[in-house]
Chain A
Amino acid sequence: MSSSTSSQPLVHPAGTARLLWMVLTTVAVLALLAYLVAFDQGAVSRSGTYLHELMHDGRHLLGVPCH
């Protein structure tokens, strides 16, 4: 990645676009995961309210608005 001097940016310019994609994908996936835990009511997960009910206590105790 980085070659000679310490003043160079940590990320190689050619790798920037790839890094950007990886970051965007990661954020999207993790946001979806957090959404499924904290806010899903079955509309996205297609699980009916099963996931919603299963994680009911966690949602309350994590402080997310529940019902």
Chain B
Amino acid sequence: MPLNTTTAPPFVTVLVRGLLAGLVAGLLAGAFAYVAGEPHVEAAIAIEEAAAHTEPAAGVHQHEDAPVSRNGQRGGLFLATGLFGAAMGGLLATAYVLLARRRRTYDDGRSGLLLAGAALLGAVIVPFLKYPANPPAVGDPATINQRTVTYLLMVVLGLVAVWAGSLGYRAVGAEAPWWLRVAAAVGGFLLVTAVSYVVMPSFQEVPADFPATLLWDFRLASLGTQVVLWTGIGLLFAALMQQGRRRAAGVAPTT
């Protein structure tokens, strides 16, 4: 049986696998965030509210007359990570289909996992190191639009950096020693990353009296949430792709 005819499942099939992987990974990330992050969110909100009470001139704050209770927000965490995960899984699946003809490996699972790793590096870790996550009480509401735009731009630049890395890897050529190809990849990635870090504006909006340990713990939990999300998407999507190929090839017929 010619492998290639069985290895290209329709777009919708791949998309459904991505959405499913993303939804499950999103819920897992939500569970991680609930356990590792919620205590820090809670502590930060306590600080925020204490500050709001001492200086009423600072304006009405969202948490005061919130339409959603704290318990609702804790449950909404799972809704947010689940939906966000599904969206990211679907986008990953779409990228997978679009890049299918350019990949160098015929291992569906491996390429899916590689793509998720690239997304984690480019869309999460690179932006995070420039614009780390902030707990409630950190961040000036007046600059939210500016911070949102620069954050999104940084996500794009992070993905460009990963792309530059893969360009470097391929530019060196297959006959070169592996370490040279890796060096070219790292070089291309670091070049774009460094230039974007220098060019993009910085925001220093952490209040002077905000506890440094709480900020660190929150940021670690936030990064962990994204790592769980993308690791989960990558592994689940890879498993589903491999399972699908095996079934199509008739190696392991499952019902």
Contacts and interface: CB of A to CB of B under 8 A. Distances in A.
Interface string B8-38: 1011100100000000000000100100011
Interface in B213-255: 218, 221-223, 225-226, 229
Contacts of B84: 33-34, 37-38, 58, 62
Interface of B: 2-5, 8, 10-12, 15, 30, 33, 37-38, 41, 62, 66-68, 72-74, 76-81, 83-84, 86-88, 90-91, 94, 97-98, 100-101, 124, 127-128, 131-136, 139, 141, 144, 147-148, 151, 218, 221-223, 225-226, 229
Contact of B80 (A10, A11, A50, A59): A59
Contacts of A45: none
Contacts of A62: 33, 80-81, 84, 133, 222, 225-226, 229
Interface string A32-63: 01101111000000001110011111111111
Contacts, number: 148
List 7 A-B pairs, minimum CB-CB distance, nearest first: A58-B80, A63-B133, A55-B80, A54-B76, A53-B68, A65-B147, A34-B87
Nearest to A6: B4
Q: How large is the interface on A (under 10, 10 to 19, 20 to 34, 35 or more residues)?
A: 35 or more
Contacts of B135: 60
A22 B139 contact: no
A39 B145 CA distance: 10
A37 B83 contact: yes
Given A49-B62, A57-B80, 10 more contacts: A2-B4, A10-B8, A23-B98, A27-B94, A33-B84, A60-B133, A61-B77, A61-B225, A65-B147, A67-B144
Interface string A18-29: 010011001100
